Structure 1
């Protein structure tokens, strides 16, 4: 039997409990803070984030910083201890490193970036509270073999498997390579964050071991995806190395395989509001490991 929290019957975002997918309209805001409040994001950028579910920052990092972080990604991928540990996810086809999780704890450089006001300050501004790191990782999508990520809402997984109560979390993807339409760039359905797609299929034991390489449970059905795509369209998050995209936890997003020679690597942080701390998983037998979903809710220093 799938374990659920006591509040299951009152949960608005039930998922993986029915044989029929359901679309549930969101009632919570996307920008929880004061849109006129001080912070790195302008009023116009916050309005765009509320409307579309994402906002882009054309040049978050300088070229010198990009080179420094890129060297750190190469160092981590080449470290046999990191590669052999649970934090590393290896590509099925190429046997190359796909992702490294909880990277802020094994890299002082990345840890400092997570607390940088350019990064955490934007998250606090959007979520209207102190924030903690729910997840950090680096993603490697090498040329000729970098696998894609099928369409999904992160909140669906974080709610079902981690126990995140509400979609009061924001991700920031910081590009360390140029993002083209053809090298597996991030794709988002703008406005899709306002609709939760309840998925079909019960969560297996230790589902994370397979889902981090190729997710099946927790992915939306084709009919729901078609409806959202017809309603909202699909935007490609392209841009130069050093650019960044912040997007809401319930955005429908994904990326295709990279069959070009041009890699697409990024640093990825997920900030959750301290007022939205995890409880027991809503629709999974047990919580995922802490290197994937932190249960230390200590605020990122401001």
Structure 2
């Protein structure tokens, strides 16, 4: 068992980012374990810092397996699977990286909306295989259409601003009305879906939003509308979505996140009105470096006794 403090990384990171962390002399010894560790023996006893994310999280039992743990840092804004109650009881600080990838996620949401409505995922392959003239049908455009956004936080607001440049009519749903925004508020997700040509999910994950998109909401969305999810896979009832896509009860869907990812349902492979990307909406060189900087600054703050930034609980 190593005697020096360790930084345990539980999420997949690019080799260059892991190398950057290893090369930082101010950080503890780095253990990169995106496939997990054995929590039942002594190999975690020297861990003082954990780098995770909202999807992977960290449980009470895992925290208790690391008696030297002082900081849990989420590499992103989400902390839905980090046991915040346990962290507070155990005196472990939890931080995250809000805002670091907002612009990148909003850009990706717009890209997904444009791509799925124009069928770009199908047209590229069709043209490359020689089908030029046979694939020039008229396709929907987002200009002037009605956009619904579930969750008008930092990312949702950036999506709304981008949509305004396309002359879209923007409405939103959140738990509470957002003051001083020029968008129509809908009291329920169902009401929002019923008036949307495109519905973008930009809300937090977790129990409160699990299967918020169910068969009733998809039915309200209707056969001319598209669903885009850059939130969490758990927000969508996958079985209901598959049925809605297969029966053409909605026009299409574009997902950057899938419940149970990285595994995807076999039925997804047969749906030509479904566009998938591998949970990369928040990944750009700029966003990753911003997240890394926030993390490194908090580690230095922890070591020097200075206040941590972007703290969730302590």
Which one has a larger percent strand, Structure 1 or Structure 2? 1
Tell me whether the two structures share a fold, i.e. TM-score over 0.5: no
Report which of the two structures shows the higher radius of gyration computed on alpha carbons: 2
Q: Which has the higher contact order (CA 8 A, sep 6+)?
A: 1
- Interval of TM-score (by shorter of Structure 1 and Structure 2): under 0.3
For normalisation by structure 2, the TM-score amounts to: 0.24
Which one has a larger percent helix, Structure 1 or Structure 2? 2
For normalisation by structure 1, the TM-score amounts to: 0.24
